[in-house]
Amino acid sequence: MVATTNHQIRLAAHPVGFPSPNDFSAAEEPIPVLGDGQMLCRTIYLSLDPYMRGRMNQGPSYAPGVQIGETMGGGTVSQVIESNLDSYQTGDFVLTANGWQEYALSDGVGVRKLDPEVAPISTALGVLGMPGHTAFCGLLDLGKPKSGETVVVSAASGAVGAVVGQIAKIQGCRVVGIAGAQKKCDYVTSELGFDACVSHRVDDLPKTLGNACPDGIDVYFENVGGKVFEAVLPLLNTFSRVPICGRIANYNDTGPSEAPNLVPKLMGLTLVRRITLRGFIIFDHTDREPDFLRDVSAWIRDGSLKYREDVVDGLENAVSAFQGLLRGENFGKLLVRVSNDPTR
Amino acid sequence: MVATTNHQIRLAAHPVGFPSPNDFSAAEEPIPVLGDGQMLCRTIYLSLDPYMRGRMNQGPSYAPGVQIGETMGGGTVSQVIESNLDSYQTGDFVLTANGWQEYALSDGVGVRKLDPEVAPISTALGVLGMPGHTAFCGLLDLGKPKSGETVVVSAASGAVGAVVGQIAKIQGCRVVGIAGAQKKCDYVTSELGFDACVSHRVDDLPKTLGNACPDGIDVYFENVGGKVFEAVLPLLNTFSRVPICGRIANYNDTGPSEAPNLVPKLMGLTLVRRITLRGFIIFDHTDREPDFLRDVSAWIRDGSLKYREDVVDGLENAVSAFQGLLRGENFGKLLVRVSNDPTR
């Protein structure tokens, strides 16, 4: 039986606060017809990433937002079904951006061919993809960790955080993670080799984190924001660096929090301790992709860098999986398996 | 008549909030007696600078604080009265750190000899001293302004801000100042050549500042904090740089303000716009002092850099002058003339 329907998930409304299922709609279209200079790709894995929450908002962020009625965008690992492009053949595995749907056309621009013999194809969305690249550049190029320094990373068991911490260990740093569930904390210390991991659910986070960082913090890799950042702030050492990668705790904020304003405290400490806070987005660091792929692939091969995936089956479960991501319920890089992975 | 008394101003209490005259006490001591390897220096000019507020607090900042009963520290231009040092003769003018008193001994370490033929000796505390050096490094090394970019500096008529803005003009930037009194705004545009200057006392500062910066802000040189920083924040461009030099509006804060917390907004913009916020203190940049002295001296000679001093007579007026500094009442680099300047 040949499939003829392309199932999609579209944005139905700009979420206000935490996204609800009503902010999305399921749609069906005929599978698009191939034109000259195009290929048709079937989605195998859809990547769900925190940055997507920003794209659901009205008004521009650093990239254009998704419009009402438009299919949600997103990175995917796909298989070529049919191709008019010389460089891609039917059956090839590719990193594309099909978005939240089963099929999409591509002209091959921005596509990377994947060799299942080299690494599982799903890793092109995680440890060997955008999250891994983000961790690599954010830690090494912005955080500039030196051997013996203390590196703290939040969302420590996540797609970015787990890579940040393991690269910091390879650089000879003391590495402290921050995560939610105890099983995540156990995983990053026992499996990934972090020196310590603190749950942000403890009663006295500033004190618990302080105890885990007796020499203060030299690099804080920020994925979370909110109360975690407030606990980190007083521990930042003179000349410390804070690459700002994400702030998932604040993505659903609908306005300033009613807590007393801490900007003066933040700016005061930044001045007195000569701290560098720097936001970054991985699109600005494409020149480092070859270095990233070379080094991280080698670290995976020699066993010094491990990864974990959390795979949810079925496009129809993408919305609830994304809600779980915003609540920190995933454990490892979150993927939706939209169709069967023939390499497994 | 030979003077025998050394008048001093000591810290009597750690100020809580805005410093009061009761936080200081006048004291008298015999003029100290010269030992081997020492010289005795009489204070001519005492520099009053915003950083001194931090030194009055209990607990360490980036430098040890002043203890109760201790004479307030501070940079001074002094004259050598008596010397057992080969490199300093009676009558020499020197940059020292006598503090808030008439006389002090020095072993010559950290002292710079001043030639009144090259520049007025008072400038060693301002445009050719720590404030000028701070402006030079903060703007050029951290702000990295490019020709055509928009540079905004707060406390624009002050000892640091005036130099920042004029160097930015020399670099080919559009320069917008922020100051309080209208006479200060007029001065920085008509005398110093800034393209615009906005008073932070206007009703709608964010809008007024936005109108003065139609292309946004590429470098914000932060001297002030508070509401001025909040007005600057939304105008910061992608890849903008924010050297954090001071936050005088917040120096007397006794706790977090009750305004809603803006840290998430600050961090969110810093991420999305890839902003760099970096605190700095001039002590970390002593290697740039020769470059600073060479370039700023040349710009003063060729008329492209002007400066203004606000001189208050008498050590007994130092406390009220310092209070005025915290209120923004000085107009130009604030100095206390402790004794007659024989070069004028």
- pLDDT at residue A257 is higher than 90: no
Instruction: Tell me which residue of B76, B70, B43, B77 sits closest to B55, measured CA to CA.
Output: B70
User: The whole model's pTM is what?
Assistant: 0.94
Where do runs of H (alpha helix) occur along B171-244? 182-190, 205-212, 226-232
**Residue of chain A minimizing CA distance to B253:** A264
Give the number of other CB atoms < 10 A from CB of residue A235. 19
- Chain B residues near residue A252 by CB distance under 8 angstroms: none
Tens of pLDDT, residues B5-42: 999 999 999 999 999 999 999 999 999 999 999 999 99
Chain A interface, best mutation among B271, B272, B281, by max A CB count within 10 A? B271
Write down the CATH superfamily of domain B5-126+308-337.
Medium-chain alcohol dehydrogenases, catalytic domain (3.90.180.10)
Query: How much helix, strand and coil, in percent to the nearest 5, is found in chain A?
Result: 30, 25, 40
- pLDDT at residue A63 is higher than 90: no
**Residue of chain A minimizing CA distance to B241:** A278
Ramachandran region, residue B210 (left: φ > 0; alpha: ψ -120 to 50; beta: rest) = alpha
Query: What is the predicted pLDDT for the residue at B58?
Result: 87
CA dihedral B141→B143→B149→B155, nearest 10 degrees, is -120
- Chain B residues near residue A281 by CB distance under 8 angstroms: 271-272, 274
Higher pLDDT, A148 or A252: A148
What whole-number percentage of chain A has pLDDT above 90?
A: 93
Domain with CATH 3.90.180.10 in chain B: 5-126+308-337
Nearest-by-Cβ selection for B244 from A62, A230, A271: A271
- Chain A residues near residue B264 by CB distance under 8 angstroms: 225-226, 247, 250, 253, 256-257
Give the number of other CB atoms < 10 A from CB of residue B182. 11
Chain B interface, best mutation among A263, A283, A284, by max B CB count within 10 A? A263
Q: Quickly state the pLDDT bin for A107 (edges 50, 70, 90).
A: very high
- Chain B residues near residue A63 by CB distance under 8 angstroms: none
CA distance B74 to B99: 4
B199, B209 Cβ separation under 8 angstroms: no
Query: What is the predicted pLDDT for the residue at B259?
Result: 87
- Chain B residues near residue A160 by CB distance under 8 angstroms: none
Q: Which class for A42: exposed (0-12), middle (13-18), buried (19 or more C-beta within 10 A)?
A: buried
ipTM exceeding the 0.90 mark: yes
Tens of pLDDT, residues A187-203: 999 999 999 999 999 99
Query: What is the predicted pLDDT for the residue at A259?
Result: 87
- Interface touch B61/A266, C-beta < 8 Å: no
What average pLDDT does chain B have? 96
Q: Longest C-alpha distance within chain B, in Å? A: 68
What average pLDDT does chain A have? 96
Tens of pLDDT, residues B230-259: 999 999 999 999 999 999 999 888 888 888
What whole-number percentage of chain B has pLDDT above 70?
A: 99
Fold of domain A130-284+294-298: Rossmann fold (3.40.50)
Instruction: Find residue B79's DSSP bridge partners.
Output: B42, B93
Fold of domain A5-126+307-337: Quinone Oxidoreductase; Chain A, domain 1 (3.90.180)
**Minimal C-alpha gap between B10 and chain A (Å):** 24
Count of pairs with CB atoms under 8 A, one residue in A, one in B: 141
Domain with CATH 3.90.180.10 in chain A: 5-126+307-337
CA distance A39 to A104: 8
- Interface touch A278/B277, C-beta < 8 Å: yes
**Minimal C-alpha gap between B262 and chain A (Å):** 6
Query: What is the predicted pLDDT for the residue at A233?
Result: 96
Q: Quickly state the pLDDT bin for B60 (edges 50, 70, 90).
A: low
- Chain A residues near residue B278 by CB distance under 8 angstroms: 270, 274-277
Distances in Å between the Cα of A342 and the Cα atoms of A93, A120, A203, A221, A316 are: 10, 11, 46, 36, 20
**Cα of A291 vs its chain's centroid, Å:** 19
- pLDDT at residue A99 is higher than 70: yes
Query: What is the predicted pLDDT for the residue at B299?
Result: 97
Residue B319, helix vs strand vs coil: helix
Nearest-by-Cβ selection for B257 from A229, A258, A264: A264
Mean pLDDT of A255-271: 90
**Minimal C-alpha gap between B60 and chain A (Å):** 10
- pLDDT at residue A33 is higher than 80: yes
- Interface touch B271/A280, C-beta < 8 Å: yes
Query: Which chain B residues have any C-beta within 8 angstroms of a chain A C-beta?
Result: 54, 61-62, 222, 225-226, 229-230, 238, 244-247, 250, 253, 255-281, 284
CA distance A139 to A143: 5
- Interface touch B54/A277, C-beta < 8 Å: no
Residue B7, helix vs strand vs coil: strand
**Minimal C-alpha gap between A247 and chain B (Å):** 7
**Minimal C-alpha gap between A215 and chain B (Å):** 17
Query: What is the predicted pLDDT for the residue at A60?
Result: 66
CA distance A200 to A314: 31
Mean pLDDT of A68-81: 97
Domain with CATH 3.40.50.720 in chain B: 130-284+294-298
- Chain B residues near residue A269 by CB distance under 8 angstroms: 279
Q: Quickly state the pLDDT bin for A1 (edges 50, 70, 90).
A: low
Tens of pLDDT, residues B171-198: 999 999 999 999 999 999 999 999 999 9
Mean pLDDT of A159-182: 98
Mean pLDDT of B132-139: 98
Instruction: Find residue A313's DSSP bridge partners.
Output: A337
